[in-house]
Copies of this chain bind each other. A is one copy, B any other.
């Protein structure tokens, strides 16, 4: 068993509520929250007892979290049971969540649009045009995402911090740069 401090309890409850909004069910989200807070890996039993969630629900929840790559199994000497440990780096955590959501929400949309545009060949040109526009935009975003996926979290965080500090004036210039942006980027990177 695991005694919850009031603050932990509150965080877990809120996070669980949040989970619903995020497309993760409440129980699973609560488990993730507890594992995130726990300094040591926990057993399925621990989770079940502490959160008052049925043993079976814990099991499926854990499997889901493992599939997403958020939780991994840890073994402890002299204990036959599996202990579960959450990814501890917040950046990595959200990265996984975003990847997951893209796969569930954006990719099917892309697939659907591609099929629709193909099928709309003989159909109203107006309709096809609209679909094509949406497809083009989404494909651009998807590619962009795939690219940033390759950048390690640490670097992204640094870039983020840099951009936070960047004066608004610089940013508004960036805005006006338009076409020249990519080219200039290549140049500074090559130095």
A contacts, CB < 8 Å to B: 5, 7-8, 10-11, 14-15, 18, 21-23, 36-37, 39, 88-91, 93-94, 104-105, 108-109, 112, 116, 119-120, 123-124, 126-127, 130-131, 133-134, 136-138, 140-141, 143-144, 147, 150-152, 154-155, 157-166, 170-179, 181-191
Can you spell out 28 A-B residue pairs with CB atoms less than 8 angstroms apart? Answer: A5-B123, A5-B124, A8-B124, A11-B112, A11-B116, A15-B112, A21-B104, A21-B108, A22-B105, A89-B133, A137-B157, A140-B160, A150-B175, A151-B171, A154-B178, A155-B175, A155-B177, A155-B178, A158-B181, A162-B179, A166-B182, A170-B190, A173-B189, A174-B189, A184-B188, A185-B188, A187-B188, A188-B188
- Beta-carbon contact of A164 and B152 below 8 Å: no
Of B161, B166, B172, B177, the residue contacting A186 (CB under 8 A) is B166
- Beta-carbon contact of A158 and B185 below 8 Å: no
Among A93, A124, A185, residue most surrounded by chain B Cβ atoms (within 10 Å): A185
With A116-B11, A119-B7 in contact, is A126–B39 under 8 Å at CB? Answer: yes
- Cα distance A188–B161 when bound, in Å? 18
- Beta-carbon contact of B190 and A165 below 8 Å: no
Known: A94-B138, A158-B179. 13 other contacts (CB 8 A): A7-B116, A11-B112, A21-B23, A21-B104, A37-B127, A143-B163, A151-B171, A152-B175, A155-B181, A162-B182, A163-B182, A166-B186, A170-B190
- Beta-carbon contact of B140 and A8 below 8 Å: no
User: Nearest Cβ distance between residue A94 and chain B, in whole angstroms?
Assistant: 7
User: Nearest Cβ distance between residue A128 and chain B, in whole angstroms?
Assistant: 8
- Cα distance A170–B158 when bound, in Å? 18
- Beta-carbon contact of A131 and B18 below 8 Å: no
